[in-house]
Amino acid sequence: MTNNIYQFSAKDTLGETVELTRYKNKVVLIVNTASACGFTPQYQGLQNLYKKHQAQGLEILAFPCNQFKQQEKGSDEEIKQFCDLRFKIKFPLFSKVDVNGENSHPLFAFLKSQAPGILGSKGIKWNFTKFLVNKEGKVLKRYAPTTKPEAIEADIEKLLQALTYEP
């Protein structure tokens, strides 16, 4: 098994399969999101980062999830409409997924194994947990839901400027 995100695919909000190889040589921030969460305003911070750094190679992948207090009840179409109208997001929005449990999307099982949480915890604790991936598809870091997107900007800029990541 390879040690990067490129082995995975996911469905977008239109039901189309997106191979993550599409994001090779990009810095990727993967986020599990929800429309009715106290952290939902982070969509704006994510869009600001995307607008500022997309041209240099940043991609943000949003995966709606309804596993935390049922804060993402809508259909994929309703979620997309909400994000378009409220935050005008331009980064990719994927079909709703589970991030924990036996039905966890394989990408999230991989992300959790590569970047465990506090005290080695594998589970995702809440919406807007973020995973930073370098240009080679390696998962470098997990950020807590409380970490605002702008607080990750310096880490993103370092990766965008790097030719390759040297651990």
Q: Which residues of 1-16 are buried (b: 16+ CB within 10 A; e: fewer)?
A: eeebbbebebeebeee
Number of structural domains the chain divides into: 1
Res. 167 pLDDT band, cuts 50 70 90: very low
Specify the pLDDT at position 146. Answer: 94
pLDDT band at 71 (very low <50, low <70, confident <90, very high): confident
Residue 122 or residue 44, greater confidence: 44
Non-local CB neighbours of 34 within 8 Å, separated by 6+ positions: 40, 64, 65, 66, 68, 71, 72, 127, 128
With respect to residue 142, please indicate whether it lies within any of the assigned structural domains. Answer: yes
Of 125, 130, 135, 134, the residue nearest 147 (C-alpha): 130
Phi first, then psi: give them for residue 11, nearest 5 degrees. Answer: -85, 135
The token pair at 104 is: 């966890």
CA dihedral 86, 91, 96, 99 (to 10 degrees): -120
H-run or E-run covering 114: helix 106-114
Kindly state whether residue 60 falls inside one of the protein's structural domains.
yes
Average pLDDT, whole number, for the chain?
90
Q: Is residue 21 part of a domain?
A: yes
In this prediction, residue 165 has a pLDDT band, given cuts at 50, 70 and 90, of: very low
- Element holding 143 (H helix, E strand): strand 139-143
Domain contains 167 = no
Of 9-23, 117-131, 132-146, where does mean pLDDT reach its minimum? 117-131
**Position 108 in a domain:** yes
Alpha-carbon distance of 30 to 5, in angstroms, equals: 10
Range of the structural domain that residue 33 is part of: 5-161
Range in 53-62, 79-88, 91-100, 144-153 with the lowest mean pLDDT = 79-88
CATH of the domain at 29: 3.40.30.10
From the candidates 28, 30, 37, 62, which is the catalytic residue?
A: 37
Least confident of 24-28, 38-42, 144-148: 38-42
**What are the strands, taking DSSP E only, across 2-129?**
9-11, 17-19, 27-33, 58-64
Could you confirm whether 37 is annotated as catalytic? yes
Instruction: Give domain status of residue 59, yes or no.
Output: yes
Residue 166 lies in a domain: no
pLDDT reported for residue 1: 52
